[in-house]
């Protein structure tokens, strides 16, 4: 077969050249030597190019909550592409974006009534932070500019998100980040919390650190606090009992906005539409993405309380109220997929299903206690994490081997972060498949001992 020739680089391009694609958050060289390729997906499984079925233990990247290749979602996207492929997001609208915003607002608690669309979790976070800053400006308190995040928080990869985020490797290469940011301590303490089922008993007092930070900077300079209700990306850290309520109380006391980043916890992962509902805490904004349309078309967004939206609706009618937005905000394909997905969640009662499965899921995860190198297990909703002891020579190597071996030898997809294995299956998982998943995990953990 003759190879295509690229005249600019002078390179011959092999038919399946892996070189050009600089892969995100991936060990590129290891992958390209020994790829883990996926060619198809249906319901609870991925399919490799050779036709091997892989149990999806992670709902893709915590996004495919309805499972894969679901007919109503696929058909909605196909129909939408034929009917209206794209319409401009600025100064024009299309009906499905409005319908989806209303449906999302109806799922959100209290007066979280207004939805601003973006295309990813990172954009959703940066949008929420910008709305917070602009809100204080339009309220005549433009000196309130400080943003408070949390250690071990993940809020995507935009400059706003990495500034309030608390993952060292995501921050240290990228300069001085946003100015005026501070961080709460993270809430994990193995000595106090190891093998807790759901929310740990210990740790609510860590919310009081917010008082200390606010005292240091003065409330008149603080715009917003942003946290994941359940920190996902640094290894699944469920909030200590009472912690989020205390954060809310302190924010209320000092007139500070509270943002819940629900990019992972939104749309059923913890058994409710939003974690805010599970914890009975109403934030001022919620960010979402991923499972809003079961990961089928990029979409994210911010849900804001009525008072925030209303504060912007001033001045002459023809003036743009918020100078922010994306070409693809509320994209027709993403919106159509979102409407079909929310229908499916409701028809199949998938949030309720996750809630009902939670005790069995936690039992299944905890059954791995006592296996070699298992230091802690956390489980909540349909989320689980296992901390492994590092090999003496390299932190993260044991978990990397577990992920690689899981895919190659045990037909299971898992996610890793540092030395932690995380599992977050689609909400359609059966009890039998939970057994299969945990059985495979046990074999993998023994294999990397
Ligand atoms: C809590 C949280 N916020 C933001 C993001 C970023 O989302 P995206 O990768 O779509 O930009 C993620 C991604 O995992 C996340 O978990």
Q: Which of 62, 289, 295, 328 to mutate to test the pocket of ligand 1 (most atoms within 8 A of CB)?
A: 289
Q: Tell me, yes or no, whether 441 and 357 share the same domain.
A: yes
Confidence band of 179 (pLDDT split at 50, 70, 90): very high
Ligand 1 closest atom vs CA 290: 10
Residues 276 and 404 in one domain: no
Angle at CA 225, nearest 5°, toward 223 and 226?
130
Question: 257 and 134 in one domain?
Answer: yes
- The number of distinct structural domains making up the chain is 2
Residues 331 and 360 in one domain: no
DSSP 373-416: TEEEEEEETTEEEEEEPPBTTBTTHHHHHHHHHHHHHS-EE-EE
Judge whether residue 15 has pLDDT over 60: no
Q: Is the pLDDT of residue 10 over 90?
A: no
CA–CA distance from 157 to each of 16, 177, 279 (Å)?
A: 29, 11, 27
pLDDT > 50? residue 189: yes
334 Cα: distance to centroid of ligand 1 (angstroms): 17
Can you tell me which atom of ligand 1 is nearest the CA of 120? Answer: 10
**Span 204-262, pLDDT tens digits:** 999 999 999 999 999 999 999 999 999 999 999 999 999 999 999 999 999 999 999 99
Report yes or no on 28 lying in a domain: no
Tens of pLDDT, residue by residue over 363-384, are 999 999 999 999 999 999 999 9
Residue 2 banded pLDDT, cuts 50, 70, 90: very low
Alpha-carbon distance 218 to 254, whole Å? 9
Give the count of alpha carbons within 13 A of 25, CB side only: 10
* 160 and 214 within one domain: yes
The proportion of the chain whose per-residue pLDDT surpasses 90, expressed as a percent, equals: 95
Model pLDDT, residue 1: 38
Q: Is the pLDDT of residue 95 over 90?
A: yes
Residues 224 and 176 in one domain: yes
User: What's the 283 CA to ligand 1 centre distance in angstroms?
Assistant: 18
pLDDT in tens, 103-130: 999 999 999 999 999 999 999 999 999 9
pLDDT, residue 210, reads: 98
Q: What's phi and psi for 412, nearest 5 deg?
A: -135, 130
Measured CA to CA, the distance from residue 371 to residue 388 in angstroms comes to 10
* pLDDT at position 29: 95
Same domain, 186 and 283: yes
Tell me, in angstroms, the distance from the centre of ligand 1 to residue 262's CA.
Answer: 9
395 and 411 in a single domain? The answer is: yes
Q: Classify residue 24: in a domain, yes or no.
A: no
Question: Is the pLDDT score of 30 beyond 90?
Answer: yes
- Ligand 1: nearest atom to the Cα of 123: 11
The number of CA neighbours under 13 Å toward the Cβ of 181 is: 19
Which of 288, 313, 347 terminates a domain? The answer is 347
Q: What is the pLDDT of residue 393?
A: 82
Q: Tokens in use for 37?
A: 């390729």
Label residue 70 exposed, middle or buried (CB < 10 Å: 0-12, 13-18, 19+).
buried
Asked, for residue 9, whether it belongs to a domain, the answer is no
Can you tell me the mean pLDDT for 14-27? 88
**pLDDT > 70? residue 345:** yes
- pLDDT score for 23: 97
* Structural domain contains residue 1: no
Average pLDDT over residues 31-44: 97
Ligand 1 center from residue 108 Cα (angstroms): 19
Which range marks the domain in which residue 416 is found?
36-66+349-447
Distance 167 CA to ligand 1 centre (A): 13
- Give the model's pLDDT for residue 5: 64
CATH of the domain at 381: 3.90.1150.10
Are β-strands 300-305 and 257-261 bridged in parallel, bridged antiparallel, or unpaired? Answer: unpaired
End-to-end CA distance of the chain: 45
What value does the mean pLDDT take over residues 63-92? 98
Lowest mean pLDDT among 10-24, 297-311, 343-357: 10-24
Please write the tens of the pLDDT for every residue from 133-160.
999 999 999 999 999 999 999 999 999 9
Distance 122 CA to ligand 1 centre (A): 6
- Taking the C-alpha atoms of residue 364 and residue 19, their distance in angstroms, rounded to an integer, is 41
Let me know if residue 152 belongs to a domain. Answer: yes
The residue out of 324, 347, 370 marking a domain boundary is 347
Given 304, 329, 347, which residue is the final one in a domain? 347
178 contact partners, CB below 8 Å, separation of at least 6: 147, 159, 160, 163, 164
Whether 4 shows a pLDDT value over 80: the answer reads no
pLDDT at 68: 98
- Domain CATH code at residue 262: 3.40.640.10
Which residue is associated with the tokens 């921050």?
Answer: 171
Residue 438 has pLDDT above 50, yes or no: yes
**What pLDDT is recorded for position 8?**
67
The atom number, within ligand 1, closest to the CA of 62 reads: 14
Domain-embedded: residue 18: no
Q: Per-residue pLDDT for 13 more than 80?
A: no
Pocket of ligand 1 (CB under 6 A): 120-122, 125, 154-156, 228, 232-233, 261, 263-264, 289, 300
Cα–Cα distances (Å) from 281 to 49, 222, 243, 274, 309, in that order, read 45, 20, 10, 10, 20
């Amino acid at each position: 077969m003759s190879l295509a020739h690229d005249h600019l680089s002078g390179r011959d391009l092999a038919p399946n050249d892996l070189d050009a694609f600089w892969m995100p958050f991936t060990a590129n060289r290891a992958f390209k030597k020994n790829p883990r390729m996926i060619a198809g997906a249906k319901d609870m499984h991925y399919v490799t190019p050779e036709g091997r079925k892989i149990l999806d233990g992670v709902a893709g990247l915590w996004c495919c909550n309805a499972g894969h290749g679901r007919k109503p979602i696929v058909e909605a996207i196909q129909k939408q592409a034929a009917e209206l492929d794209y319409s401009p997001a600025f100064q024009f609208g299309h009906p499905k974006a409005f319908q989806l915003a209303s449906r999302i607002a109806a799922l959100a608690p209290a007066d979280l009534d207004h939805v601003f669309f973006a295309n990813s979790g990172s954009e959703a976070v940066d949008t929420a932070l910008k709305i917070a800053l602009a809100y204080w400006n339009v309220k005549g308190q433009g000196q309130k500019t400080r943003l408070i995040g949390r250690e071990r928080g993940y809020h995507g990869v935009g400059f706003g998100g990495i500034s309030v985020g608390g993952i060292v490797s995501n921050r240290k290469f990228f300069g001085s980040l946003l100015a005026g940011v501070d961080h709460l301590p993270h809430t994990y303490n193995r000595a106090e919390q190891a093998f807790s089922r759901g929310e740990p008993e210990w740790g609510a007092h860590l919310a009081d650190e917010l008082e200390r930070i606010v005292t240091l900077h003065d409330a008149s300079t603080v715009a917003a606090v942003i946290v994941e209700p359940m920190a996902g990306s640094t290894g699944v850290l469920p909030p200590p009992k009472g912690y989020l309520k205390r954060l809310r109380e302190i924010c209320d006391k000092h007139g500070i906005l509270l943002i819940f980043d629900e990019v992972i916890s939104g749309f059923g992962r913890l058994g409710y539409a939003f974690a805010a509902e599970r914890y009975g805490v109403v934030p001022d904004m919620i960010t979402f993405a991923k499972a809003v349309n079961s990961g089928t078309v990029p979409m994210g967004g911010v849900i804001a309380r009525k008072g925030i939206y209303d504060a912007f609706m001033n001045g002459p009618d023809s003036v743009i109220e918020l100078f922010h937005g994306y070409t693809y905000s509320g994209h027709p394909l993403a919106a159509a997929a979102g409407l079909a997905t929310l229908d499916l969640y409701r028809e199949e009662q998938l949030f309720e299903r996750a809630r009902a499965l939670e005790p069995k899921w936690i039992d299944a995860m905890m059954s791995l206690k006592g296996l070699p190198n298992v230091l802690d297990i956390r489980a909540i909703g349909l989320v689980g994490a296992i901390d492994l002891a590092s090999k003496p020579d390299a932190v993260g190597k044991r978990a990397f081997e577990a992920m690689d071996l899981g895919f190659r030898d045990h037909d299971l997809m898992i996610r890793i972060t540092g030395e932690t294995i995380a599992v977050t299956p689609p909400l359609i998982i059966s009890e039998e498949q939970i057994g299969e998943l945990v059985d495979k995990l046990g074999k993998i953990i023994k294999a990397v001992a």
